[in-house]
Structure formats: structure tokens, C-alpha cells
Amino acid sequence: MEAQEDLQVDLKPETLLEMYWLMVLSRRLDERTWVLHRQGKIAFHISSIGHEAAQVGAAMALRRGQDWVVPYYRDLAMMLALGFTPKEFMLGVMGKKGEPNSGARQMPSHWSIRRLNIVSHSSVVATQAPHASGIALAIKMRGDDAVVLTSIGEGSTAQGEWYEAVNWAAIHRLPVVFMVENNLYAISVRQERQMAVEQVADKAAGLGLPGVTVDGLDAPVVHRAITEAVSRARSGGGPTIVETMVHRMTPHSSDDDDRSYRTREELEALKAQDPLHLQRDKLMDMGVLSQDAEREVQERAKREVEEAVDFATRAPYPEVSEASYPVYAEDRIDD
């Protein structure tokens, strides 16, 4: 991991506060969704709790809406940081009409937001990585100056799909950043069973591109690493692997029960290093966040989340007819 000097100084207080706000918003939304699940009101949730700092730090290193993002399911905080709204998220969670990711066709947390250049992905892990390299190839072909950020879990880097995608980007020096959110687990399977290297970033050496590992619990640290990778990409320097070490503080998803494969002690130790608390404490130490401001942030988040839940609860389900299209591009309504 990179030496972590005091990086907070690089960023303006407003930026630090914005980061913190997004982390809080994501966390409250995420927790509320777990509650809905426990109440039997929704069928499924997959959580970004413990990954927020990395995701917000990364998203804020992009030109939002101009750069391209090819995310994976665990990226709720990243999506919010890019401009996706809690209401939109809740529509998806509840499978309601007009849910912008897929018109309620896909499971929740399968992102796709055209207006933000956030590309649709499937559940099949690692399939998104070649798309990211392809978008980057097109950007290079067209001479545009956009950059692509794609994210993935550490386990999924065992897929040949990821290898081939990174290989293309390295050969053609494409403007893409391969962000890895390493939480040491792929459902129940630990990193040692996924790879024989210490860090995912070590794979970079075998593919011919730079790779770094950074503390993913610290948003400004991630922000700096991604900013560097993005500016290398934008200036023709080619792709980078940026591995962020994060904590999966929940079971894999609402379908999982992690008691069979990790101890409660291990989990408690992770929770003791909650990125949200770390960030809050740092900002307070720096004098950037006051007690009042903190209270306000929390209240605002709570309010926005409740509004989203209400909004989505009242929203109608899709018409049944929507299920039948668009199979082909010519079936699109606005065609």
C-alpha cells in the first residue's frame, strides 16, 4: 500500500464535506434497504456498506456525466456520488415502473444510467471489464478526451474476462482505470483461494500496466489515486489498476448468511474500522465538520431516504406489457 501522508490537505473543505455527505447518504439508504428487507417489503438487497469511501473517492475524481463509468453491483455510493438519486434507487429496489436502470427488468443494484454515461451491466461478474476497454478504445479512435472508470470485486479478477479486458487496455494504452474493490471475500471464498499474489495490483506487472493498492477506507486517498490514474489515462498514458482495500461489513447480499464462513470477531474488527466513522472523526479533528453540521448531515440523509421510500412505495408497478419489449432496438418506444 502507498504511504499515506496527510492527503486531506489536497482537497478543499467543501469537497471533503461533499464526500462525507455522500458516504452518509449512501449508508443511511443502504441501512434502510436492509430494514425493508427484514420487514419483508422487498426481495433483495446487495450492500455497499464498508465500500463507501472508496466509491465516493473514485467517483469524485471523474468529470461527472462526461467520463464513462462501467460499475458493478456493489457501487451504490459511487452511483449516488455520480448523480443517481435515492428515489431512483428505491424504485429499483421495489421493482417499480420507470426505474431508470432497467425499467425494473433487472434486479436492484444493476446500474445503468444513460444520462450519466453509466453503462448497463449484467450479474455475470467481470463481463463489464471488456466493455470498459471497448469504450476506451472508441474514445481513442474518436480522439475524445473522456476516460472510463470500471470497478470490480477482487474475486472477479480471477475471470478470464477481466484478464482479456486489461490486456487489451495495456496493449493499446487505452484511457481506462480498472478499480478493484478488494474486501477479501467473494461471497464466502477468501482471496487466497482466488489468486496466488498478495494484492490484485500485483497482477498489473504481468499485464504490462501500472498497479497500485490504496486504503479504501479513506476517501481522499482513493480520490488521489484515481485522480492520478485518470489523468494518466486522459493524457495518453494508458490504463492503471487501482486496488482499494475495503471492508464488506455485511453478508454478501440479503440472500447470504456469513456466519458459516467468518467469525463474529473478524466482523467486529472490521466494523471497528468503519470508513464512515473514520472520515467523520478526521473531519472533526480538522475542524471541517462541526457537531451541528454532523447532525444536519444525518438528518438530511434520513429525510431524503424516507422521501425516497415513500415515493417508491407509492409508485406503481410497471404495466405487464412492458415485459415484452424492447427485445430489439427497433422495438424501443421512442424509435
Question: Among residue numbers 257 through 296, which ones bind ligand TPP (CB under 6 A)?
Answer: none
Output 46 or 170, the one with its CB closest to a second copy.
170
Exactly one of 27, 37, 45, 74 binds ligand TPP (CB under 6 A); which one?
A: 74
Q: Cβ distance 194 to 157 under 8 Å?
A: yes
Q: Is 248 a catalytic residue?
A: yes
Give the amino acid at 119.
V
Exactly one of 125, 146, 288, 308 binds ligand TPP (CB under 6 A); which one?
A: 125
By CB under 6 A, tell whether 153 contacts ligand TPP. yes
By CB under 6 A, tell whether 183 contacts ligand TPP. yes
C-alpha distances out from residue 230 to 111, 238, 312, 331, Å: 22, 9, 36, 37
Applying CB under 5 A, the span of 139-147, 155-163, 205-213, 259-267 interacting with Mg ion comes to 155-163
Catalytic residue among 172, 234, 261, 300, which? 261
By CB under 8 A, tell whether 9 contacts a second copy. no
By CB under 8 A, tell whether 189 contacts a second copy. no
Question: Rounded distance, CA 64 to CA 55, Å?
Answer: 13
Exactly one of 50, 71, 92, 153 binds Mg ion (CB under 5 A); which one?
A: 153
Residue 196 binds which entry of other proteins, ligand TPP, a second copy, none, CB below 5-8 Å type-dependent: a second copy
Q: Cβ distance 57 to 75 under 8 Å?
A: no
Q: Is 252 a catalytic residue?
A: yes
Catalytic residue among 110, 121, 232, 252, which? 252
By CB under 6 A, tell whether 123 contacts ligand TPP. yes
Output 47 or 85, the one with its CB closest to ligand TPP.
47
Residue 183 binds which entry of a second copy, ligand TPP, other proteins, none, CB below 5-8 Å type-dependent: ligand TPP
By CB under 8 A, tell whether 195 contacts a second copy. yes
Q: Is 261 a catalytic residue?
A: yes
Output 190 or 277, the one with its CB closest to a second copy.
190
From 202, 209, 211, 155, select the one nearest 179 (Cα to Cα): 211
C-alpha distances out from residue 160 to 126, 152, 165, 197, 314, Å: 8, 13, 8, 16, 43
Min dist CB 169 to a second copy, Å, is: 9
Binding characters for other proteins, 160-199, by CB under 8 A (x = yes): xx--xx-xx--x--------------xxxx---xxx----
CA atoms in the 13 A half-sphere facing the CB of 300: 14
Catalytic residue among 248, 262, 264, 325, which? 248
Exactly one of 196, 272, 327, 329 binds a second copy (CB under 8 A); which one?
A: 196
> What residues line the site for ligand TPP (CB under 6 A)?
74, 123-125, 153-156, 181, 183, 185-187, 248, 252
Q: Which residues bind a second copy (CB under 8 A)?
A: 158-161, 163-164, 167, 170-171, 192-197, 202-209
Q: Which residue numbers are catalytic? A: 248, 252, 261
